[in-house]
Chain A
Amino acid sequence: MKIVVCIKQVPDTGTRIHLKGNENIDESSIEWIINPYDEFALEEALRIKEKKQNSEVVVLSMGPSRVEKALRTALAMGADRALLIETAEKISDPLLISQALGKVIKEEKTSDLILTGKAGIDENNSAIGAMLAEQLNLAHVGFVRKLTETEEGKWLCERQMEAGSTEQITLSLPALITAEKGLNEPRYPSLPNIMKAKQKELKKINFSSLNIPKDLTSLKFTSYQIPNTNIEPYMISGSPEEQAKELIRLLKENSCL
């Protein structure tokens, strides 16, 4: 079975974001990680590979050269080889990203399963999985928390919807699945595997060699701003009874209740 996992490199969740003027994010102090949801996707791929003989897990990412580090981590976790679509700068248009990824996936020989995270924790668009599925003409299920192979060789996807209901969908491969938190607990790469990863194949593809029309849309991020969320809190003191009474009174007064 051949599985392609699309990963994105994002700032660590603990990172404070600083700006360079208002037209750019200052990347100098950012610690980069694999997008956590993509990590769940990768872990799931590795678990499938461990169960199925002759499986291959290929990780694919896109971005500036710093992204190589994320791919090396993925290789250290157990992916067999990596592909990096290298761009001169960060590209944020989902339409461009998915076209590039899709083109590279198509160039690979037939893939059975494409896995990626439900969203990037940076832009939170949830776009790439579904767009890729459309481009590759695949069925897809998003937000999967549990994935099991059935006796008939189909894949049972379980997910939870906003209203609290659970949905089960049976998919036949080839298909695309996006991972939600809860799917698994991603492994930490071991030291020997980190060493081994250095020898694994990491192929770089130049974004411009893919001939994707860059002026397809005019989408452009501007006017970055760090919202000031610091507030001078109103501290309510007194006994627990007094605190409770005063809080309820204030919430009612400000029509919060």
Chain B
Amino acid sequence: MSIKVLVSVDFLDNQAKNSSLDLISFAFKQNWSVIALCLGANKESLETVKKAGAEKIFFHTKKNSNPQILTEFLSSLIKEQKPNLVLASSLQHNLEVFPRVAFRLKKPFLSDSLNVKKTETKWLVKKSLFAGKCQAIVELNLEDSPVILMRPHQVESYETHNVTESAIVEQLNWYFEEKDNYKLSQIKQNQLNQRPDLTEAQIIISGGRGMQGPENFKLLEELANCLGSHAAIGASRAVTDAGWCPHSMQVGQTGKTVSPQLYIACGISGAIQHLAGMSSSRTIVSINKDPSAPLFQKSHYGLVGDLFEIIPCLIKELNQKTAELS
């Protein structure tokens, strides 16, 4: 049985997001045929989608932000294409639209999934529960054609496949008619924070109570700057609850669940709800003056000492390395 997967691709500044390309490439490598849905894309931006392994591409230059309107169009496309699986990234806009689509089509829905596998008769979806304290496999019959949203960075990074010739591109002629009861009035770009979102960052530097005050977070900013544009700043719940940092920076069970390549915890003791949100990080470094901090038991590298001494040394060391290279 040949498997058809519809992958909904997210675009930012006319570029397909890596997390979406990862999903296409992942599906391609399973020998599933990939239909890519690209909303808010221009024709040039579809090249990366093709190379990631899409066989067929539906695209539209616009994307409507009203989930109610998008549901209408997405549902009819899925009904028409009859994919065996719908995949998208577990990101806010998708989390508003795809549960609606699944409900309308009466298809099972799961988000924040870590992996999808196919057996002869079933889909096996790996889910992290309680922010990673526990995992489970969700079984679904193959013919259920579920809608699954995947947590970014869980499948392998995409590769370029040699499929460019065969991809069929079709422009959708959807006309989004605005509704009176929903009006997107303003989008403010955050000028201060040009860093990637925590859930998508490759490197995260997090601060806890050991930072001693909000003013000291600039030290973490400085360290992040040395690590390049893919480093983000996070914080523990103690720190966001105290108002040192906005809630959007909180890592943990009531904040964001993250899995970067590198997580550097500075002055975080490691409450269970924080551990839940970050323990799936590839490499964990902990800097704390208290050698009995529980986070050390979850860290690959531990540095016992004063973070106000160690971090400036790290910054100096990184700057030196950059200077040597240039």
Contacts and interface: CB of A to CB of B under 8 A. Distances in A.
Nearest to A217: B108
B310 A167 contact: no
B104 A134 contact: yes
A248 B318 contact: yes
A8 B313 CA distance: 47
A220 B313 contact: no
A130 B182 contact: no
A17 B300 contact: no
A134 B99 contact: yes
B136 to A, nearest CB: 5
Nearest to A19: B134
B120 to A, nearest CB: 14
B296 interface: yes
A237 B254 contact: no
A254 to B, nearest CB: 7
Interface string B75-98: 000000000000000111101111
Q: Is the interface of B mostly helix, strand, loop or mixed?
A: mixed
Contact of B136 (A98, A160, A180, A222): A222
A131 B273 contact: no
B130 A236 contact: no
Contacts of B146: 217, 219
Interface size class of B (residues with CB under 8 A): 35 or more
Contacts of B297: 230-231, 233
Interface stretch (A78-86, A103-111, A137-145, A186-194): A137-145
Interface string A122-150: 11111111110111001111110100000
Nearest to A145: B247
A188 B5 CA distance: 48
A14 B182 contact: no
B313 A121 contact: no
Given A233-B301, A236-B303, A257-B262, A163 B197 contact: yes
Interface residues of A, number: 86
A220 to B, nearest CB: 5
A162 B185 contact: no
Interface string A152-184: 000010011111111111111001000011100
A7 to B, nearest CB: 15
Given A16-B133, A165-B187, A240-B309, A222 B138 contact: yes
A172 B186 contact: no
B1 interface: no
Contacts of B134: 17, 19, 25, 224-227
B323 interface: no
B193 interface: yes
A95 interface: yes
B302 A124 contact: no
B4 interface: no
A95 B185 contact: no
Nearest to B310: A240
Contacts of B304: 235, 237
A88 B309 CA distance: 57
A223 B129 CA distance: 12
A121 B95 contact: no
Contact of A233 (B184, B186, B199, B286): B286
Nearest to A126: B95
Contacts of B91: 162
Contacts of B118: none
A55 B136 CA distance: 42
Interface string B148-174: 000000000000000000000000000
Interface in B123-138: 127-138
Contacts of A17: 129-130, 133-134
A8 B253 CA distance: 16
Given A125-B110, A140-B96, A171-B182, 4 more contacts: A13-B276, A95-B103, A135-B103, A222-B137
8 contacts: A14-B271, A95-B106, A125-B112, A129-B99, A167-B65, A182-B248, A217-B141, A221-B137
Q: Which 5 A-B pairs have the closest CB atoms?
A: A244-B313, A130-B99, A164-B190, A162-B197, A134-B100
